[in-house]
Each structure stands twice: as structure tokens, then as C-alpha cells.
Chains A and B, each alone.
Chain A
Amino acid sequence: MQKVVITVVGKDKVGIMARVCTYLADNGINILDISQTIVSGYFNMMMIADMGDKIKEFEKVKSELDEMGTSIGVQIRLQREEIFDMMHRI
């Protein structure tokens, strides 16, 4: 299992989740947990996913998510989960 955190931040609109989830499904990335909030019209979503059975390399997925984000007007970041674990858990 390789846990990653995907964050999507940007102006809320129809289909953001659909696009991201479809991409993850197509690339063998399993979603473990999702939470989302909308603060003053801004979409703020975090997913924890497992890239253990991924089809593509981490860097490739990262850049494709980045491109998708640009095309739908949001910022999508892919990061390995350890950075958050290290910072917020003893």
C-alpha cells in the first residue's frame, strides 16, 4: 500500500469530483477516504488514496492531475501521505 493525499482547491462547479474520481479509477488508484468543504464558494477537497496498484508512475499521475486541474480551473495536488503523518502525528 502506498498512501497518497490528493487535494483539490478552487472555485466550485459541476463535475469536479466526477473528473477526479474517474481519472483515479482509470489509473488503478483506490480511494480510501474523502472529505470536502465549501468555504465562500471555494471547493476544498481532500482524498486519501492507495497507489499500491497504480498503472502509471507517481510523477506521471502528478503531472496529469495537475493538467486536469488547470483545464477545469482548480488546483490539484498529489503528495505522499508521510509528510502529513510526520508533521501531525507523534
Chain B
Amino acid sequence: MINISEVTETNEMIQHENLDVRTITMGISLFDCIDSSLDECTKKIYDKICKKAGKLVETGEHISQSFGIPVVNKRISVTPIATVGSSACKTEEDYIKIAETLDKAAETVGVNLIGGYSAMLAKGNTDKELIFLNSIPEALKVTSRVCSSVNVGSSRTGINMDAVRRMGDIVLETARASYGTESLGAAKLVVFCNAPDDNPFMAGAFHGITEGESVINVGVSGPGVVKKALEAARGADFEVLCETIKKTAFKITRVGQLVAREAASQLGVPFGIVDLSLAPTPAVGDSVAEILQEIGLEYPGAPGTTAALALLNDQVKKGGVMASSYVGGLSGAFIPVSEDQGMIDAVEAGALTLEKLEAMTCVCSVGLDMIAIPGDTPAESVAGVIADEMAIGMINNKTTAVRLIPAIGMKVGDTLNFGGLFGYAPVMPVNTFSCEKFVNRGGRIPAPIHSFKN
């Protein structure tokens, strides 16, 4: 039987170390909402989301009460809208109507974010998908809950450089469209390579076309728990360090597995995956950067950072995989800048640059995340940064993503303040040398070779 020290340990994690279930995300297929009439299409989408997710928030609250663990977010992901709307939508305005429908449905069922205003363009794009891309800036301006993502490359298909170049413009236009709200629109837009179909975390969540009717995916989080456990391993060698991370990751993930199973059973929806990610928040003691510091770095960005992050990411996976029957999504350590107080401190101290962050993304869970850049950065340079990150994902067979926020009217040293879970971000410099001729070539980068690995 469970003993008092085990109960105390679990409750300490919840009460003092920010252990929580970060999100229960319900994936909903919208394929059966495809219609040539836009009115019919939006009606079907609204009705289906409200029907499937009507009890999502209530169930999340109920589970939170039963186990005494916070379930921070209840969210929805849907089939990529570029596909769902391709029959009904003739213009950008038509796609924006679907975005407004998603926003309204999310409000009705009480979720704070809904993902899936997305397009899958890894190899090429249809005419409708181009119209869809053009609709993103306005769609993210007129809605408050909708999140958008665009997959522009994969290890199997290479990188769609036409889409990368276009996304350079779209990211800037999205930031400009939401000028006055700290360019918040761009914080809800992610560019992916190898985007996973079952990611529960926003802003990149969508219900992939390989998924079933509906599914429950769960993301747990506990950077604070790992940090606390590592305090007891100060000065110990790498074996002890790695074992400590692994054991802690196991415990954290077990909670995710329990909550995912329980939510799936109560909602009568299949359990999909648990995402193992260590997801920080701006709260003190809920930071991946603090773990890196506990491992032995003065600040993230110092020499050794990539090795420390590689170790952390790998041990989290090793511990987590055994704890859950199905692992998926992004699963690793997130290193967003604005959402992690330790990362913000590192940038402000001059320890962390965009280039070092790029190196870190080779071994971490996702990519260049929540990074504010000067508002006058040329679209070509934004596209160049995206292309670099996509190449890392393509060659290394991993998911990479870019979520840059051009801070319109701001310069290096200024700060964007989003508030809440999005946090705040010091504007970071981007290399000012041009890549214009490179990104404007057009076409795609061929798929990489999958042998002769060096």
C-alpha cells in the first residue's frame, strides 16, 4: 500500500514544484464537415465541435478535483482547415469565416485555444492552400482563440522553399495585423518541419489526417519537479544526474497517462498519446532554463548548453517512454524564450543569442520558439531563419518549428509583453546580412539521403 512519504512527495510536487497537467487536448476530425457550400460547412464545423467537446472543460475540472492536480488548459485541435475548407472557400474571406466559426465554437465550449487553422505544404501547395496562407494574418487578427500552423517540409519530401519564402511574408504580415496587441497574432502561428499529427500543445496542435474521428491527447509538465530533484544531485557525476532526470520524468509522465486514460474514458473518446514535453511557463520555478542552470551552467547559452540540453531531452524521453503506453506529439524539452523566465534572464544577461538557440534546437524538442525579433527584419531574413530551422528538422529526422514574433516598431533591447502564459520577450538581434538571393530562388530543396549518416 502507498505510504506517507510517497503521498507527501506527490503532493509536494503539485503544491510547491508546479507539477500540473498542462493540457488535455481533444482532437476532432472535420473531414465530414467538408461541403461545397460555405454556410453548410461552417454550420457543420460549429455543430460538430460543440457536440464532441461539449463536456471537455467540465471533465477536465472533474479530473482535476478527483486527483488533486491542476489541469491548466482544456483545448481542441481540428483537421487542417486548408483541407477542410478547400471545397467551400473561394477567397481569403471565406477561410476567415471558418476561422471565426472555430473561434465561436471554442468560446461556446469554453476552451482557451483551438488549433488546426493549418496547412500541410511539405512538398507542394494547391491553389486553395495559397489562398489559405494569405488569410492567416487577418484570421489571427479577428479571432482570439484560433491557432495556426503550416508544415513546410519533412524528412521524406524535402523543404517546400516557395512556402518557406511565403511564410517569411506571412509571419511579418501577421505581426503587423496585430500591431497594438504586442504582435500577439504571430505568437499563435507556427511553421513546422515534420509536424506531428497528434501534438497536444499550442500553437502547433492540429488533428492530423492520419488520426481517427476524435482522440484525447495529454501534455504534462513539470520542469520545477526536475529542477527540485536535481538539487539533491548537485556535484554528482553524469550517471547520477541522468538517473535522477529519468526517474523524475517517469513519475511526471505517469500522471499524464492516468489523466489521459481517465479523460478518454469519461468522454468516451479513444486515448491518443501522452506528450512527454517539459513545458515551462513564465512562473518562477517552472523553467527549463533553471534545470540547465542546476545541471551546471551559469546561464543557458554558455558553452556546454547544447550538451546539457541533449542530455536532458534524452533522459526525459527515456524516463517517459516507459511510463506511458502511447507516447507522441513533440515529447522533449521546450525552450521558448518568452514563456520561460530563466531564458528571458539569459537573453537579458547577453548569454543567449538566436544562433545559440538554433544550435540548441538540434537536440531539443521543437525549435525557435517565442522569440521576438526587430519589426524591421526583412521578410527574406525571416524566411532564411525558417529555412535554417526546417533544414535541421529535415536532416535530423525530427520535428522543428519556428515561432518568431516580429516586434513592429521595436528595436533590439525593447520588450514585447504578451502577459499570461505567453510571457514577455526581449527583442533579439537577427543577423543583418542578406539571404535574399537564396530564399528567392523558388522551388524546393530535395528530400535528404537516408543512408550514409555522418
Contact = CB atoms under 8 A, between A and B. Distances in A.
Contact of A7 (B1, B7, B65, B254): B7
A30 to B, nearest CB: 15
Interface string B4-21: 101111110000000000
Nearest to A34: B4
A33 B1 contact: yes
Interface stretch (B66-74, B176-184, B398-406): B66-74
B7 A84 contact: yes
Given A7-B11, A77-B11, A87 B68 contact: no
Contact of B7 (A5, A32, A62, A78): A5
Interface in B303-354: none
Which of A59, A79, A83 neighbours the largest number of chain B CB atoms within 10 Å of its CB? A83
Contacts of A33: 1
A80 interface: yes
B10 A84 contact: yes
A58 B11 contact: no
Contacts, number: 61
What is the interface of chain B mostly: helix, strand, loop, or mixed?
A: helix
A16 B2 CA distance: 22
A56 B367 CA distance: 49
Contacts of B9: 88
A68 interface: no
Contact of A88 (B2, B11, B65, B69): B2
B4 A44 contact: yes
Contacts of B3: 35, 46
A18 interface: no
B66 A84 contact: no
B255 interface: yes
Interface size class on chain B is: 20 to 34
Contacts of B6: 84, 87-88
A82 B2 CA distance: 10
Nearest to A58: B66
A80 B1 contact: no
B255 A86 contact: yes
B258 interface: yes
Contacts of B258: 82-83, 86
Interface residues of A, number: 26
A5 B3 CA distance: 10
B2 A48 contact: yes
A86 B69 CA distance: 13
A70 interface: no
A3 to B, nearest CB: 9
A81 B391 CA distance: 46
Contact of A84 (B2, B62, B65, B257): B2
A81 B9 CA distance: 14
B97 interface: no
A59 B68 contact: no
Contact of B66 (A32, A46, A79, A87): A79
Given A7-B7, A7-B11, A87-B10, A81 B2 contact: yes
A87 B251 contact: yes
A33 B100 CA distance: 54
26 contacts: A7-B11, A32-B1, A33-B1, A35-B3, A35-B4, A36-B4, A46-B3, A46-B4, A46-B7, A48-B1, A48-B2, A58-B66, A59-B62, A78-B68, A80-B67, A83-B68, A84-B6, A86-B255, A86-B258, A87-B251, A87-B255, A88-B2, A88-B6, A88-B9, A88-B10, A89-B2
Q: Which 10 A-B pairs have the closest CB atoms?
A: A79-B68, A86-B254, A83-B67, A88-B6, A46-B4, A86-B258, A84-B2, A35-B4, A87-B251, A80-B66
Interface of A: 5, 7, 32-33, 35-37, 44, 46, 48, 58-59, 62, 77-89
